[in-house]
């Protein structure tokens, strides 16, 4: 058998990357994104986009994504192959380390073809050293669903001081059901987890003054709601309730407020996400009229 060649793309080789057959059942294809357009914007770069070739034919490929201004990749979100071993070898060879995010249909386990595509990608990533961290819901609200009713239980106020927001993150991360938060707290501590989430929110390309803290009528802080934007969509960037106020359904109030705020700023769609295991948050999105449109499996 011809030796396998694993290398990054060279500039102008987008067609080579796209030459591998893709049935479009999982991965970036489900999000409707065009690789060439994203590469032209600097979201995929040649040195972060790798192929494995045998007889000059692509048998595996992987692309690491980041925003146009980022200096290092944020996520591996394009990975597939026609040769399983080549896919494993590619991930082991490429000198890039970032979380692998695999997009799937909501009921991916119910379709044998889709389940196979998910299974072989996860297996290959695990053989290359990744481990599954969490499966997440991806929600998408559109205007025909209607705006969720505001319960009126909370007072929402802007908070311009990042140190105050950071302190709220420290408090809401205690007992969090979010797998990424729990991982960071376990490995690096509560302070690192709080700063990581503040940095992510500051990285998003939306005005800082959209953020709100939520207070009860007696002035006691309940949580925070941080509507924002990512590279493609308006998003419910972060929702969290302080531990002492959990169990009262406040997450719904926070989602409703974020939705109204984003619509005020012109949103004609809103994307959000939460871990499948975070049942209270998933119920809040469902109550606010956010249907599940995809799942995402994160491997680290």
> What one-character DSSP code corresponds to residue 28?
G
pTM score, whole prediction = 0.95
**Per-residue pLDDT, 1:** 53
Please state, in angstroms and rounded to a whole number, the distance separating the CA atoms of residues 102 and 63: 12
Give 10-residue mean pLDDT values along the chain (300 residues). 90 94 92 90 96 97 95 96 98 97 97 98 98 98 98 97 98 97 98 98 96 97 97 96 97 98 98 98 98 98
Question: pLDDT value at position 270?
Answer: 98
Token pair in block for residue 294: 């995809």
Number of CB atoms found within 10 A of residue 56's CB: 9
CA distance 125 to 118: 11
Its sign, for the CA torsion 236, 164, 252, 102, is positive
| Residue whose pair of structure tokens reads 């969290």 in the numeric block | 240
- The residue extents of the domains of the chain are 5-130, 143-295
- Residues in the chain, overall count: 300
CB atoms within 10 A of CB 158: 10
CB distance 76 to 114 below 8 Å: no
For residue 152, give every residue at least 6 positions away whose Cβ sits within 8 Å of its Cβ, in sequence order, or none: none
Question: What is the Rg, in whole angstroms, of the alpha carbon atoms belonging to the chain?
Answer: 21
Instruction: Judge: domain 143-295, CATH 3.40.630.30.
Output: yes
Buried b (16+ CB within 10 A) or exposed e, 186-212: eeeebeebbbbbbeebeebebeeebbb
Is the distance from CB of 41 to CB of 64 less than 8 angstroms? no
Helices 250-264 and 279-287, packing angle to 10 deg: 50
5-130 has which fold? Aminopeptidase (3.40.630)
């Amino acid at each position: 058998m011809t030796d396998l060649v694993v290398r990054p793309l060279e500039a102008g080789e987008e067609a080579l990357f796209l030459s591998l057959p893709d049935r479009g059942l999982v991965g970036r294809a489900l999000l409707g994104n065009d690789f060439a357009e994203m590469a032209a914007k600097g979201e995929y770069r040649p040195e972060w986009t790798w192929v494995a070739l045998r007889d000059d034919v692509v048998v595996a490929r992987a692309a690491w994504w980041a925003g146009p201004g980022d200096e290092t990749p944020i996520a591996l979100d394009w990975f597939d192959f026609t040769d399983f071993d080549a896919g494993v070898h590619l991930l082991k060879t490429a000198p890039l380390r970032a979380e692998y995010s695999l997009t799937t249909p909501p009921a991916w386990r119910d379709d044998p073809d889709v389940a196979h595509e998910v299974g072989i990608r996860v297996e290959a990533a695990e053989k290359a050293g990744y481990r599954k961290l969490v499966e997440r819901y991806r929600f998408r609200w559109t205007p025909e669903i209607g705006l969720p009713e505001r319960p009126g239980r909370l007072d929402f106020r802007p908070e311009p001081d990042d140190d105050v927001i950071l302190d709220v993150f420290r408090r809401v991360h205690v007992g969090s059901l979010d797998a990424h938060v729990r991982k960071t707290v376990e490995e690096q501590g509560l302070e690192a987890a709080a700063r990581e989430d503040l940095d992510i929110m500051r990285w998003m390309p939306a005005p800082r003054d959209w953020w709100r803290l939520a207070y009860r009528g007696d002035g006691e802080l309940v949580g925070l709601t941080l509507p924002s934007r990512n590279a493609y969509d308006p998003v419910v960037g972060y929702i969290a309730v302080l531990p002492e106020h959990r169990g009262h359904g406040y997450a719904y109030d926070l989602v409703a407020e974020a939705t109204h705020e984003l619509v005020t700023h012109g949103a004609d769609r809103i994307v959000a996400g939460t871990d499948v295991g975070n049942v209270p948050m998933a119920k809040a999105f469902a109550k606010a009229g956010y249907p599940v449109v995809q799942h995402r499996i994160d491997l680290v």
